Each structure stands twice: as structure tokens, then as C-alpha cells.
Amino acid sequence: MTITVPQTNKQPSEKLQPTGWLRYLSFSLDHKVIGIQYLICGFIFYLIGGALASAIRIELTSPVSDFMARDVYNQVLTLHGTIMIFLWIVPVVNGAFGNYLIPFYVGARDMAFPRLNAVAFWLIPPAGLMLITSYFINGAAQSGWTAYPPLSITTPAAGQIIWIISVLLLGGSSIFGGINFIVTILKLRRPGLQLMQLPMYCWAMLGTSILVVLSTPVLAGTLILLSFDIVAHTGFFNPALGGNVIVYQHLFWFYSHPAVYIMVLPAFGLVSEILPVHCRKPLFGYTTMVYSIMAIVVLGLVVWAHHMFTSGTPPWMRLFFTIATSFIAVPTGIKFFNWVATLWGGRISLNSAVLFSCGFIINFVLGGITGIALAQVPFDIHVHDTYFVVAHFHYVVYGGSVFVIFSSIYHWYPKFTGKMLNENLGRFHFLITFIGFNLCFGPQHWLGMNGMPRRVAEYDPQFTFVNQLSSVGALLMALSTLPFLWNIFQSALKGPIAGDNPWQGLTPEWLTSSPPPVENWKGEAPLVSKPYGYGVNKEESTMESVDDAQGDNNS
Amino acid sequence: MTTLAPTEQSSEKQITHKSEHGDYRLLGLITFLVADGMTFAGFFAAYLTFKAANPLLPDAIYELELPLPTLNTFLLLVSSATFHRAGQALKLDKTKLCRRWLLLTASLGIAFLVSQMVEYFTLPFGLTDNLYASTFYALTGFHGLHVTLGAIMILIVWWQARSPDGRVTSKNNFPLEAAELYWHFVDGIWVILFIILYLL
Ligand code: HEM
Ligand SMILES: [Cu+2]
């Protein structure tokens, strides 16, 4: 008698979900679908935020306010900042790559709480749409992404309230995501997989999620109080009613400084995954990497008042926050040297992913140096609220996180789609992005040092030429999206087949088909205890001396 | 008979997926409570900074009486104990007893809310009267919201435990444990709130 082997054992989750492209519009519980949803949704908002940035740069080509009305300029500026931070970088470096990769890295079939995961994603599109439509209804918020009172209390209320609600939704989404990552990394590891064997991105996401869980709720509480001030006319942050604006600033930065690490720590992790694969060497200094991530998490929670050096901060507080902020340079520097050492002597393939990662290293060092400069009170008093700050944070946020997002897309696109991207087009994309970026934000250091204030549509005519230079850079950045988009769509349709493991990677996501099946592996999850065991076979033994620092990670 | 195999197998596979790892829902809940606790920490920090930096304006009225909040503290502390008893009873499979303790806990929570309302209506100041009045209502209101949600959760668990083979049993006591942890958390927050707001 023949007992037919049961056909492919479809999981209930698979049966209930639509297949094909439709599943990206569904309430899918598959972590890979959710990851791609985050990525595409984030990219759409990036295009919108980029259009707003272009509007800002067009306005700033002339010293007078001629392209748009002043209050429209404020709205555009506020929307640009909020969209780029809360709807592009945070959801993509955390939600998109985190959801796609973390279950692979811990050897699980999905995240710990798939339903919560889907809810977290689906909070984002309505929040973003609400934020953008507020512009067309009664005018969007005008008080910048920081929403400092009393400005946020005195500008038109409707836009500000919608801004608060959408940031609260996005914060909630972020907290749900953070809980999910912490539990997945700590509890869902495949039996036998030690914490110190995890790929670095897991550590980065663990650190980031701790920051998310500890700091985002404080922002939420603060915004609730702010909304009371606007709607019910309480006076928490309204000096006219006996309130205190400085308390808002403290609470806001208690979230928003960690938020800069929420944007950049995952990027650190992604670079640490990409570099070893493409230069065929183990990640240099695994253990020190882990400890520096954790050091950044701890220090990141106690440096917030470096944003408030001109807010009447008492001297002892200035001293403390200058020292604490300067200390962050140590773990950050360790990571920088580790990446350089990983590249050193490696067989580097200069493809688009590596170029963007190297671009990240260069830009981030520049942004880190200006950050340290800003942490010194005497200098900061001079340049606070000038274009120098704008230059600083774009070097770390765009030059850092956004470069890494592009690097990651070039690296994992074959896994996501099963197709290869066009490398020459990718290198071209890198070249104009890198030139455009530095042309746009480099000169802003000079503008700030010479006294051009940020967030205003008009400036002293002596700054005209340098502003125009910066706008040319912005134009290049805008244009750089075109080859990228072309590449993405063209390759999805006609790109060469990638195969399971086009880069010969050793981390678990490469040990399954491209794109991977539902539940990630056909059989058992593989046990990958040496995710960076590159270059240990004979031909590559020249790297042995460097590998020593990797400790037990090489055989 | 062979046609049954796939479903049997897949349900078995489902179970192994779950039991490959111990129960991780508790860690999820604890992480959530840490986040929730940080919201309160932010509020407390704001209140204490206001106190240090913003004196009460000359003509503003802000006075609190102690008796009612002391009674409230007492109600919540007792309710934590009764919830604990409910959990113990469930472990011993004494479902009826467990449900009685649960009902008592929920009643204590509701009594707390009523007494809080009485306090609100007898206070000589309103939400927007001055900074301290606003802070008082914001803090106690946010906490009261937590008590309300907790009471609802207890009643849901009470309902789910109604039959011995129901959704809350000695083997599947996570719903009760989760609600209990949350309830202890809310009580702990109240104790801190009581000290900071009424005693300091
Ligand atoms: C890691 C990535 C980083 C990101 C994403 C980032 C982001 C930002 C942002 C957005 C601001 C502007 C806030 C505002 O006024 O609206 C800022 C300001 C500042 N950053 Fe960074 N930063 C990063 C790294 C650093 C580092 C490494 C340091 C110092 C060690 C630093 C020190 C500062 C200081 C002192 C300011 C205040 C400038 C002022 O407003 O006067 N930052 N940063
Ligand atoms: Cu900061």
C-alpha cells in the first residue's frame, strides 16, 4: 500500500494570506513581507520629503522670500524634518531591515509577535497620510520637527494637533517594533546559538530597541501634555500661564538625542554585515563592537542637554553634558577603526554596496567631528541654531544612515527579489549622490560659522553664492534618485537571476532561496555559529594575522 | 485515513514551533511595562522640575487633602494582595475561589476609581486653574486610565475563567498572570505618585 507523502505542508498563515504583489498591501504576518512593506512605504515618504527639501533649496537660492510665503516655508520645513526622521529613516533602518533580517539571524521562522508586528507597520501609512493632508486642510504644523513651545502653542492649532497625533502613532509603532525585536533576539534564538555568535546587526537592533523602549514613551507623554496646552489651554509649557518651556526641551531631547542613535545604530549594524561579505574578511573586533554598541546606548541616554546649551542651562549642567557627549566619541571611534580594519587588506570588490558603505564611513567621521565640536559649549554658543548644526546633522543622518540604507538595498536586493541590480548604474548613483551630498551640505558649515541662522527663508545677501552652491548640490541629490529608481524597476523585470547566494555570504539569510520561502527555510534552520568566518581557507590565509582579533570567531 | 495526515502534521508542526521556545510573552509584557513606566517617569520628572523651578503664582489655589488618597492607597494595596490570592487559587485548580478573588480585586479597583472621582469633584481647583492643578489632573488622570484598563482586564479574565475547561485554567494561566503583573505595576506607580504628589 502506498501512503502518499502529504503535499507541501502549507502553514495556515500562508493559506490565509494573498500571494503575489497583493500581499504587500495586506495585513500580512510574514516578517519578510512586513520588512518590504516598511521599505517601500519609507521610500515613498523619502521621495515626498525630498520634494519638500527641493522646495526649501529653491527658496534659498535667493536671499529674499520669493518662492513661497513665509508660513508655507515653515510648514514645508516642518514636514520635511518630520517625514525624513519619523517616516523614512527610523522605519527603514529599524522596521524594514530589522524585520527582514533579524528572524534569519536568530534562526527563527518569524518575529516573536507577528500580529503586533503587522499592527506596528500599519500604523505608519495613516499617520503619514494624516500629516501630509494637514497641509491641504488648514495648514501643517509650523514649529519644526522639535515643536518647541511657545512657538507650537501660538502657531495655528489644527496643524500642530494633527502633527502630534501622527507622531504619537509613529512613536507607538516604534515601541511595538522595539518590544518585538527585544523579545525575538533574546528569546527566539535557535537552540545552540549563543548571544556572542549573533551577527552584529542583532546587537545593534537590541541596543536600538532598548533606546526605543526607554525614550519614546517620554516623548509620547510630553506631546500629550503639549496637546493639552494647545487644546485645553493648560499651562504646562506656557510661560504666560506660569509654565516652563525648558521642561519641554529636557523631555523632548531625552527622547530625541537617543533618537539620533535610533537612526544610526542600526546603520552601524548593517555596515558591519555588508563590509565583511564584500572584502572577504571577518568583522574586525567583534567583542569591542558589541561593547561599544552598549556603551553608546548607556551614554546616549545621558547627553541630551547638549541641545540646550543656550537655554539658560546652569554651568554644572553644561560641564556634565559636554563631558558625557565627548565620551561618546570613544565607542564611536572604536567602531570606526574596526570598519577600517575590516577593510584593511581585504579583497574588496568595489561594488555599489561597498561604495555606499565607504561613503558612509567618510561622511560619518566628518559629522562625528563636527558633533564633538558642537558639544563644546564655547563653540556651540557661537553656532547653535545656525547652518552649522544643519550641516552636522545632515552629515550624520544623510551621510550616515541614508548612505547605509542605499548600501543595504544594493546588498540585499538579490535576496529580496532574486534578481541582480545593474552595478554600473549603482556606481553612477553613488558618485552623484556622494558629490551632490557633499556639495549641498559641506558649504553649510561655512554658512553657519559665518552666522546664517537656520529655519528662516531670508538671509543676508552676502550668503547668496554659497547658498546657490548648496542648492546645486541638492539638485544633484534629487537627480541621483533617478538612476536608482530606474535600476530598481528595470532589474526587477529584466535583471539577471541572482541565485541563492550571489555574494557568497555566510550569514543565515544567504543559506536559503532568493526570495526565501514563507517560514524562511524548507527544513531546519541552519546553525550559523561563525557568521564572519570569511577568508579562513588556504588561499586567503594571508589575512590570518588580522583575524586574531576576532578571537574564537575563526577556526 | 491518509487524507487526514496533512492537517494533523501541520497542527503538530505549529505546536512544535511554539514550544521550541519557552513562553516569551512574559518578556514582551515586561518590556511594555518598562516603556509604560518611562511615560510616568517623564511625568514625574516634569512635576519635580516644575516644583523646583516654578513657584505657585500668588493668587493660585492648590491644596490637597490627605484622607481620601490614603484610603485609595489602602484600596490598591489590598487589591494587589487579593489578586495574588486569585493567582494562587487558580494554580490549585480552585477556579471558583479564584473567580471570587478576581471579582473582589476588580471591585476594589472600581472603588478606587469612585473615590478618585469624589476627590476630583471636591477639590477647590480645576484642570486649567494653574500649573500645579494641571499637573495634578494629568498625573492622576493618566494613572486612573491605567486603573480603568486594569479593572476591565480583570473582568475579562474573570469571564474567561468561568468554566473549568475555559480559556483561563491552571495550565493556561498566562492571561491571569499578565493581568496580575500589570495590576501590581499600576499599584506600584500609585505608591510613587502618592509619595511625590501628596507627601512631598
Ligand atoms: C550618531 C549620529 C548623530 C545624529 C543622527 C545626530 C543628529 C543631530 C541632530 C538632528 C542635531 C540637531 C538638533 C536640532 O537642533 O534640531 C544634532 C545636534 C547636535 N549633535 Fe548630533 N548627531 C549625531 C552624532 C553626534 C555626535 C557623535 C555628537 C557628539 C559627540 C553630536 C553632538 C551634537 C550636538 C552637541 C548638537 C547640538 C548642536 C546645537 O543645537 O547647538 N552628534 N545632532
Ligand atoms: Cu544630541
A495-523, pLDDT tens digit by residue? 999 999 999 999 999 999 989 998 898 88
Is B59 a member of any domain?
Answer: no
Is B78 a member of any domain?
Answer: yes
Q: Which of residues 504-523 of A touch B (CB under 8 A)?
A: none
Q: Which of B10, B24, B43 sits opposite A112 (nearest CB)?
A: B24
**Predicted pLDDT of residue B22:** 60
Ligand nearest to the CA of A324: 1
Size of interface A-B (CB pairs under 8 A): 121
Rounded Cα–Cα distance for residues A355 and A335 (Å): 18
**Predicted pLDDT of residue A23:** 79
Is B9 a member of any domain?
Answer: no
How many residues does the structure list for chain B? 200
Q: How far is the CA of A403 from the centre of ligand 1 (A)?
A: 18
Q: Contact at 8 Å (CB) between A181 and A190? A: no
Is B8 a member of any domain?
Answer: no
Q: Which of B21, B40, B131 sits opposite A236 (nearest CB)?
A: B131
Q: Which of A109, A191, A218 sits opposite B38 (nearest CB)?
A: A218
| Ligand 1 site-directed mutation target among A145, A307, A380, most atoms within 8 Å of CB | A307
Is B16 a member of any domain?
Answer: no
Q: What is the mean pLDDT of residues A42-58?
A: 97
Rounded Cα–Cα distance for residues B56 and B38 (Å): 27
* Set of cell numbers at residue A96: 524594514
Query: In the predicted model, is pLDDT for residue A311 greater than 50?
Result: yes
Put simply, whether A24 touches B (Cβ < 8 Å) is no
Which residues of chain A have a CB within 8 Å of the CB of B31? 178-179, 182-183, 213
Query: Cβ < 6 Å from ligand 1: which residues?
Result: A 146, 260-261, 263-264, 306-307, 325, 328-329, 332, 368, 371-372, 374-375, 380, 384, 389, 392-393, 396-397, 400
What confidence tens digit (pLDDT) does each residue in A427-456 have?
A: 999 999 999 999 999 999 999 999 999 999
Dihedral of CA B182/B183/B184/B189: which sign?
positive
Q: For the domain that residue B136 is a member of, what is the CATH number?
A: 1.20.120.80
Query: In the predicted model, is pLDDT for residue B40 greater than 50?
Result: yes
Q: What is the mean pLDDT of residues B121-134?
A: 91
Is B130 a member of any domain?
Answer: yes
Helix residue ranges per DSSP H, chain B: 5-20, 25-53, 67-91, 95-122, 131-160, 174-193
Closest CA to A543 of A249, A282, A252, A167: A282
| Ligand 1 site-directed mutation target among A211, A260, A263, most atoms within 8 Å of CB | A260
Q: Which domain holds residue B98?
A: 40-54+65-199
**Greatest extent of chain A over all pairs of C-alpha atoms, in Å:** 92
Contact at CB, B54 and A242, closer than 8 angstroms: yes
Confidence of residue A17 (pLDDT cuts 50, 70, 90): low
* Set of cell numbers at residue B74: 489602602
Q: What are phi and psi of A434, to 5 degrees?
A: -65, -45
Contact at CB, A221 and B39, closer than 8 angstroms: yes
pTM: 0.91
Q: What are phi and psi of A386, to 5 degrees?
A: -115, 180
Q: What is the CA radius of gyration of chain A?
A: 24
**Predicted pLDDT of residue B60:** 81
Is B10 a member of any domain?
Answer: no
Neighbouring residues of B172: CB distance < 8 A, sequence distance ≥ 6: none
Kindly tell me the burial class for residue A387, based on how many C-beta atoms sit within 10 Å of its own C-beta (0-12, 13-18, 19 or more).
buried
A53 sits in which H/E element: helix A31-59
Is B27 a member of any domain?
Answer: no
Rounded Cα–Cα distance for residues A251 and A79 (Å): 21
Query: In the predicted model, is pLDDT for residue A554 greater than 60?
Result: no
* Set of cell numbers at residue A376: 563644546
Rounded to a whole number, what is the distance in Å from the CA of B104 to chain A's nearest CA? 32
Please, what is the Cα angle at A239 between A234 and A245, to 5 degrees? 90
Rounded Cα–Cα distance for residues B69 and B48 (Å): 19
Q: How far is the CA of A334 from the centre of ligand 1 (A)?
A: 19
Query: In the predicted model, is pLDDT for residue B18 greater than 60?
Result: no
Confidence of residue A22 (pLDDT cuts 50, 70, 90): confident
With pLDDT > 70 as the criterion, what percentage of chain A qualifies? 93
Residue with cell 541621483: A480
Confidence of residue A528 (pLDDT cuts 50, 70, 90): confident
Q: What is the mean pLDDT of residues A468-484?
A: 97
Beta bridge partners of A386: A453
Query: In the predicted model, is pLDDT for residue A260 greater than 80?
Result: yes
Domain extents for chain A? Answer: 34-547
The mean of the pLDDT values for chain B is 87
Rounded Cα–Cα distance for residues A502 and A487 (Å): 18
As a CATH number, domain A34-547 is 1.20.210.10
Instruction: Kindly list the distances between the CA atom of residue A507 and the CA atoms of A101, A104, A491, B58, in Å, as whole numbers in the listed order.
Output: 10, 8, 24, 66
